[in-house]
């Protein structure tokens, strides 16, 4: 079996196998956001239960944050935005790290307002490597978050739950792409241009 390598030039015996581009399909984007919301609720509940396994003394206490004035509200919003920004930075950074490792070229990063991306638009990446690129953030951040929850102080549990939950639900697009690719056994290459992914199969 020939192991394909990343290339800047698509071999001549390949043709398009379709693409996933949420920027041109608002309905699909809306559905994906709905699925992401369900994943956010489900994963948050699951992580909270897991946190009680690591820190059983928190049982019955729950998590609360009292907002007494505008300053408290602004502080809470800043805290949420900070965790969100950290999650996006780490998530896209992991994508970019694997793009760089596999191609040797600096990846392209972007932000569209409702999603961020890392991309390697000049490269055709073999399916087995692209699956690693797609799934590495959700796997790495989830595992790191679980380890951190098991050893962290109680005060850090809520930020960790929020970070891991937001990353997991925000990875719904990555999981969609990976799931589609796994069902297409004849697809050999993926070209990630940021707003979407183009796939190629041999003629």
Distance CA 178, CA 190 (A): 11
Distance CA 102, CA 166 (A): 27
Residues 71-86: what's their mean pLDDT?
A: 85
Give the per-residue pLDDT at 66. Answer: 66
Reduce the secondary structure of the chain to three states and give it as a string.
Answer: CCCCCCECCCCCCEEEEEEEEHHHCHHHHHHHHHHHHHHHHHHHHHHHHHHHHHCHHHCCCCCCCCCCCHHHHHHHHHHHHHHHHHHHHHHHHHHHHHHHHHHCCCCEEEECCCCEEEECCCCEEEHHHHHHHHHHHHHHHHHHHHHHHHHCCHHHHHHHHHHHHHHHHHCHHHHHHHHHHHHCCCCCEEEECCCEEEEEEEC
Q: Is the pLDDT of residue 29 over 90?
A: no
> What predicted TM-score, i.e. pTM, was given to this entire model?
0.88
- Extents of the domains making up the chain: 22-56+69-202
Give the per-residue pLDDT at 62. Answer: 56
Q: Going by C-beta distance under 8 Å and a sequence separation of 6 or more, which residues neighbour residue 163? A: 83, 86, 87, 141, 145
Residues 79-100: what's their mean pLDDT?
A: 92
- The mean of the pLDDT values for the chain is 89
The token pair at 104 is 């040797």
Return the SS3 of 59.
coil
**Confidence tier at 64 by pLDDT (50, 70, 90):** low
101-126: per-residue pLDDT in tens?
999 999 999 987 667 899 999 999 99
Q: What is the dihedral of CA 188, 193, 194, 197, to 10 degrees?
A: -30
Give the per-residue pLDDT at 84. Answer: 87
Distance CA 96, CA 118 (A): 6
Give the per-residue pLDDT at 17. Answer: 95
Residues 53-66: what's their mean pLDDT?
A: 70
């Amino acid at each position: 079996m020939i192991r394909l390598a990343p290339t800047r030039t698509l071999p001549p015996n390949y043709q398009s196998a379709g693409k996933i581009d949420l920027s041109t399909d608002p309905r699909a984007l809306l559905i994906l956001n709905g699925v992401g919301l369900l994943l956010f609720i489900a994963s948050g509940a699951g992580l909270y239960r897991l946190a009680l396994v690591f820190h059983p003394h928190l049982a019955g206490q729950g998590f609360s944050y009292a907002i007494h004035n505008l300053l408290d509200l602004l502080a809470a919003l800043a805290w949420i935005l900070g965790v969100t920004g950290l999650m996006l930075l780490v998530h896209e950074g992991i994508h970019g790290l694997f793009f760089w490792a596999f191609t040797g070229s600096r990846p392209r990063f972007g932000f569209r307002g409702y999603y961020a991306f890392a991309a390697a638009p000049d490269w055709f990446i073999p399916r087995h490597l692209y699956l690693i690129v797609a799934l590495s953030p959700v796997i790495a951040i989830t595992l790191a978050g679980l380890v951190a929850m098991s050893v962290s102080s109680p005060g850090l549990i809520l930020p960790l739950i929020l970070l891991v939950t937001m990353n997991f639900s925000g990875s719904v697009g990555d999981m969609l792409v990976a799931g589609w690719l796994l069902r297409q056994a004849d697809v050999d290459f993926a070209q990630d241009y940021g707003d979407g992914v183009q796939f190629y199969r041999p003629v």
